[in-house]
């Protein structure tokens, strides 16, 4: 189903004359540096194609002959057609024995090109370049150090005066089109592979791809479909890709579609170790593909506006989402040792997906201060449960499981709730993002396990909520507030010393805190203020009784929400008075 949906996406894009998706046998690849030659192969200059995009310098992308997979001890023998990295083109670095082998394989591949291709003036210039010892001229160029500083920098050649490099010349493109149906672009051995079978994607008889193309996930590059040879995965005498027969045309289509989605900033999102791509079965009037990406972006302005539009769309008609039955796909991927791991695969409709996303942001709604966002992007939510709020420290698999829960309308993973509570106890900080996350986790769990008998947590303070954890959290917030009022400018409050114990083993600390409270109340100057705090404590304590010895995980979550709600209520009342 995944491969079929990706192939359908490719076919739709390929049929669109305005689409820039690569035709069969080609791929779009960034080439940071071009070696410019004259028609006699003499070195002219080293052209830097990079442009500033955000904080990065990004090389210009060209439509080049498709790359081939490399693996095994003889991987250096596999070269690309007229483009590759500087190890192949220039033998750089010269001290590396592998680079020398790569360069020798590159020179051999040029000599083995068909006669009609060697007759092209651009290809001929490349061959003359090596016969005239042009490699030294490149390395003597003023900007060679910039090229050498890029790890495995992709390069190719261009004739002076041409707009595109040699691999884009008509003769080269015609050669690629001619050989596409005859030789697999990913055949590592270079041997002709003529095994045919019924393609499991199209259902038609076709030549089967033995090795599938690679896809860059984060900084890694693996295949979505792959089998290790002689590793127990072979069956009925078949090995590698023949175990799951996919025609070469279908293999190219799905790999190209996936790589195209991953390169786009509007159809891809990366959260933690998971990367998700999304697309619809057909172009929708609402442009939901791009809108869907806006919902998860970490830009406060774009995200907030997208969420606002999503909630108002049923009333305003700004986005015709609700009646849209167009199929919508979300594919979650993560790097793995051998191949790409599929974290989740969700097939829905635009209308259903919009409803699930709307419910997610509704579950997150909680009272907050003026500096906090009305809607928190997923990346910020997950960073709030990571050590030092660093994206690299997001617990493994949590990102994928959370995204799957959101899009499928399932309860959030228990590990997410655990991580949020653990970070609060470690940092003694119930932030807006963490409070919103805990509220969403608890309410989803209530909705699925006990939808009629247990009340959900509200957006703001709920004085009728009798849950022991919620009441204790409120009480702790009141005791901290009294301490702050009695000691203006205090650096460390009871939260810094006792939050962890109060939220997990209340009986060990609340007795002492209640006695300490009397001392703090006595220091307040205004009798009316003391009375108000006493009344508030009495109202909270009326639903507590004895302090429990232990709070379960869900009650620890309610403790955090009760504390957060009560603190926000103090700030709200103060603002109203001013």
Report the candidate in 311, 287, 312, 195 with the shortest Cα–Cα distance to residue 248: 195
- Give the per-residue pLDDT at 186: 44
Confidence category of residue 335, pLDDT binned at 50, 70, 90:
confident
Report the candidate in 349, 241, 287, 255 with the shortest Cα–Cα distance to residue 9: 255
CA distances 19 to 22, 257, 260, 269, Å, are 9, 12, 11, 21
- Give the per-residue pLDDT at 45: 96
How many Cβ atoms are within 10 Å of 562's Cβ, its own excluded? 29
Report the candidate in 434, 397, 418 with the shortest Cα–Cα distance to residue 553: 418
Give SS3 for 45. Answer: strand
Q: Which residue has the tokens 């896809």?
A: 215
Give SS3 for 292. Answer: helix
- Give the per-residue pLDDT at 576: 46
- Give the per-residue pLDDT at 36: 97
pLDDT in tens, 123-150: 999 999 999 989 999 999 999 999 999 9
489: left (phi over 0), alpha (psi -120 to 50) or beta: left
Confidence category of residue 191, pLDDT binned at 50, 70, 90:
very low
- Give the per-residue pLDDT at 396: 79
Neighbouring-strand partners of residue 216: 221
270, containing H or E segment:
strand 268-271
Query: What is the separation of C-alpha 14 from the centre of its chain, rounded to a whole number of angstroms?
Result: 26
Q: Kindly tell me if the per-residue pLDDT of 91 is higher than 60.
A: yes
Q: How much is the average pLDDT of 380-399?
A: 88
Confidence category of residue 52, pLDDT binned at 50, 70, 90:
very high
Average pLDDT, the chain: 87
Confidence category of residue 451, pLDDT binned at 50, 70, 90:
low
Whether omega before 93 lies within 30 degrees of 0, making that bond cis, reads: yes
Contact 531, 424 (CB under 8 A): no
Confidence category of residue 185, pLDDT binned at 50, 70, 90:
very low
pTM: 0.80
131-133-134-140 Cα dihedral, nearest 10 degrees: 180
Say how far apart CA 86 and CA 93 lie, in whole Å.
8
- Give the per-residue pLDDT at 233: 61
Confidence category of residue 435, pLDDT binned at 50, 70, 90:
very high
Confidence category of residue 474, pLDDT binned at 50, 70, 90:
very high
Q: Kindly tell me if the per-residue pLDDT of 188 is higher than 60.
A: no
Starting at the edge strand found earlier in the chain, the sheet holding 154-159 runs: 43-48, 33-37, 154-159, 83-85
**Radius of gyration of the chain, Cα coordinates, nearest whole angstrom:** 31
Q: How much is the average pLDDT of 390-407?
A: 88
Q: How much is the average pLDDT of 547-568?
A: 96
What is the end-to-end Cα distance of the chain in Å, rounded?
60
Contact 402, 363 (CB under 8 A): no
Contact 432, 368 (CB under 8 A): yes
If you write DSSP's letter for every residue of 10-49 in order, what string do you get? HHHHHT-TT--PPPTTEEEEEESEEEEE-TT--EEEEEE-
Angle at the Cα of 64 from the Cα atoms of 93 and 177, rounded to 5 degrees? 130
The percentage of the chain sitting over the pLDDT mark of 70, rounded to a whole number, equals: 89
Phi, psi values for residue 275, rounded to 5°: -120, 125
Q: Kindly tell me if the per-residue pLDDT of 32 is higher than 60.
A: yes
407-412-413-414 Cα dihedral, nearest 10 degrees: 180
The sign of the torsion formed by the CA atoms of 191, 196, 198, 203 equals positive
């Amino acid at each position: 189903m995944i491969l079929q949906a990706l192939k359908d996406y490719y076919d739709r894009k390929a049929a669109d004359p305005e689409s820039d998706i690569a035709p069969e046998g080609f791929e779009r690849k960034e080439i940071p540096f071009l070696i410019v030659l004259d028609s006699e192969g003499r070195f002219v200059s080293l052209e830097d194609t990079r442009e500033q995009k955000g904080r990065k310098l990004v090389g210009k992308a060209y439509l080049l002959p498709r790359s081939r997979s490399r693996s095994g001890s003889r991987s250096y023998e596999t070269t690309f057609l007229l483009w590759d990295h500087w190890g192949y083109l220039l033998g750089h670095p010269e001290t590396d024995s592998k680079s020398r082998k790569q360069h020798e394989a590159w020179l051999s591949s040029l000599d083995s090109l068909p006669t009609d291709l060697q007759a092209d003036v651009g290809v001929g210039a490349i061959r003359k370049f090596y016969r005239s010892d042009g490699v030294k001229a490149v390395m003597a160029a003023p900007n060679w150090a910039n090229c050498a500083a890029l790890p495995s920098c992709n390069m190719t050649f261009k004739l002076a005066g041409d707009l595109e490099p040699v691999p884009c010349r008509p003769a080269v493109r015609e050669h690629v089109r001619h050989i596409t149906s005859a030789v697999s672009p990913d055949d590592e051995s270079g041997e002709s592979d003529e095994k045919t079978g019924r393609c499991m994607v199209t259902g038609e008889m076709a030549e089967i791809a033995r090795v599938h193309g690679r896809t860059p996930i984060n900084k890694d590059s693996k295949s979505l479909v792959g089998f290790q040879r002689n590793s127990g995965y072979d069956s009925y005498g078949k090995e590698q890709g023949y175990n799951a027969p996919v025609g070469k045309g279908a293999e190219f289509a799905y790999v190209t579609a996936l790589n195209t989605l991953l390169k786009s900033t509007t159809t891809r999102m990366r959260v933690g170790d998971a990367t998700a791509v999304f697309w619809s079965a057909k172009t929708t009037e609402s442009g939901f593909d791009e809108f869907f990406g806006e919902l998860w972006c970490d830009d406060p302005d774009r995200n907030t506006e997208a969420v606002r539009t999503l909630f108002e769309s049923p009333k305003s008609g700004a986005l015709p989402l609700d009646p849209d039955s167009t199929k919508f796909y979300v594919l979650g991927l993560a790097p793995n040792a051998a191949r790409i791991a599929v974290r989740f695969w969700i097939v829905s409709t635009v209308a259903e997906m919009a409803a699930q996303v709307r419910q997610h942001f509704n579950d997150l709604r909680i009272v907050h201060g003026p500096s906090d966002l009305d809607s928190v992007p997923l990346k910020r939510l997950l960073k709030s449960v990571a050590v030092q709020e660093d994206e690299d420290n997001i617990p493994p698999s949590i990102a994928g499981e959370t995204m799957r829960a959101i899009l499928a309308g399932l309860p959030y993973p228990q590990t997410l709730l655990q991580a949020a509570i653990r970070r609060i106890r470690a940092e003694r900080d119930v932030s807006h993002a963490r409070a919103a996350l805990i509220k969403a986790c608890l309410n989803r769990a209530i909705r699925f396990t006990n939808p009629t008998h247990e009340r959900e947590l509200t957006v703001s303070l709920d004085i009728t909520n009798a849950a022991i954890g919620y009441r204790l959290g409120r009480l702790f917030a009141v005791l901290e507030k009294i301490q702050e009022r009695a000691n203006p400018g205090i650096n460390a409050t009871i939260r810094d010393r006792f939050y962890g114990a109060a939220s997990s083993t209340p009986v060990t600390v609340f007795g002492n805190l209640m006695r300490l409270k009397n001392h703090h109340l006595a220091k307040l100057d205004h009798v009316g203020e003391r009375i108000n705090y006493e009344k508030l404590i009495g109202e909270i304590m009326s639903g507590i009784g004895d302090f429990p010895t232990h709070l379960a995980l869900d009650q620890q979550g309610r403790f955090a929400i009760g504390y957060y709600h009560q603190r926000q209520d103090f700030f709200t009342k103060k603002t109203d008075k001013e």
